[in-house]
Amino acid sequence: MTPVEAIASDGAFDPAALVARERPVIVKGLAAGWPIVARGREGAASAIAYLKGFDAGRPVVGSVGDPAIGGRFFYDDEVTALNFTASRVGLSAFLDRIAAAPDDGTSFYVGSTDLDTYLPGFRAENELSLDPAALGGAAPIVSIWIGNRTVAATHYDMSNNIACCVVGRRRFTLFPPDQVANLYPGPLEPTPGGQVVSMVDLRAPDLARYPRFAEALDAAQVAELEPGDVLVYPALWWHNVEALDAFNVMVNYWWNPVPRFMDTPMNTLLHGLLSLRDRPEGEKRAWRTMFDYYVFGEAGRAAAHLPDHARGALGPLDEAGARRLRAQLLNRLNR
């Protein structure tokens, strides 16, 4: 494993340019001036009081794990259920529960909670200056993550990420997308947090059971974050996230520089399992060539030799074209 590159914050912040490097980057101290960072430096009680001041009273999903799981939200030993309980709770009450809990290894976690919905006004005081045009024109999804010493098992997200460590220290261990086979992904569903996770426990990898994970470790990069540090990394990079202190808060921004009318590639993957995976190997090789030509190659190549009026779905995709294509696909699926 190697350290993630760290750069100094100089006031200019262009996350799209950082993502274009196709690797993670830490911007040291970019969020250090946020009030929540200052309150966190005063202590957990001060940070919790600050958060409670923005509580809109809407129930959030609070997760609790027994000390036996070591803070890692995952599956039970038989992979028949999740190893924690989740329920709708009041945010302030859950924060009080974290504050009052003995340090006995019980894990408390509020994951991916929309900031503007559940803590309105927080972003007015704690915000990165982001130019939507530089992010493809779409406003990012901004979420908050709160808990004690927890581990988010190695997973990927389908969006680029700006992860702001604001209370407590965090450790990200990141793996490039080409390591997927070496990470031994788990079930497509259910999942501990909405995304597929690696079956390997990074803290104690069983290399007898998962031998290729050693190759993944060779390719891994580690980001050690202090409060105020910001980590930027591209979509589909796998990451294991450890919250290292008794109280931790992270704010993150997800974005994709693609029009919102585009479908999620996960739907394509699921349909690929339905239509392609179990075909004869010769057919699969032929379909791989077809996908390279129509999908993964240069966008305009498949229609370049056709007149404009004959290009149909092969032409540039816009919102109307996406609706037609979706309707055509639904019609085929419903036959």
> Is the pLDDT score of 334 beyond 90?
no
Predicted local confidence at residue 2, as pLDDT: 97
The CA-based diameter of the chain, rounded to the nearest angstrom, is 71
pTM: 0.94
> Is the pLDDT score of 88 beyond 90?
yes
Q: H or E element: which one contains 222?
A: strand 221-225
> Is the pLDDT score of 137 beyond 80?
no
Q: Token pair of 300, please? A: 């305009």
State the Cα–Cα distance between residues 259 and 137, nearest whole angstrom. Answer: 8
State the Cα–Cα distance between residues 126 and 39, nearest whole angstrom. Answer: 12
pLDDT band at 132 (very low <50, low <70, confident <90, very high): confident
Domain locations in the chain as residue ranges:
2-255, 265-333
pLDDT band at 114 (very low <50, low <70, confident <90, very high): very high
Predicted local confidence at residue 245, as pLDDT: 96
- pLDDT, one tens digit per residue, over 286-322 is 999 999 999 999 988 998 999 999 998 888 988 988 8
> Is the pLDDT score of 11 beyond 80?
no
- pLDDT, one tens digit per residue, over 214-250 is 999 999 999 999 999 999 999 999 999 999 999 999 9
Determine whether domain 2-255 maps to CATH 2.60.120.650. Answer: yes
Q: H or E element: which one contains 93?
A: helix 91-100
Q: Helix crossing, 35-42 with 44-52: angle to 10°?
A: 140
pLDDT band at 21 (very low <50, low <70, confident <90, very high): very high
Q: Edge-to-edge strand order for the sheet containing 238-243?
A: 2-3, 221-225, 170-175, 238-243, 151-155, 72-73
Quick check: bond before 265 cis, omega within 30?
no
Predicted local confidence at residue 262, as pLDDT: 86
> Is the pLDDT score of 138 beyond 80?
no
Predicted local confidence at residue 109, as pLDDT: 97
Burial group, residue 302, by CB count within 10 angstroms (0-12, 13-18, 19+): middle
**Percent of the chain surpassing pLDDT 70:** 100
Average of pLDDT values for 111-122? 96
Q: Please tell me the least confidently modeled range out of 5-9, 42-46, 113-117, 183-187.
A: 5-9
Query: Count of residues for the chain?
Result: 335
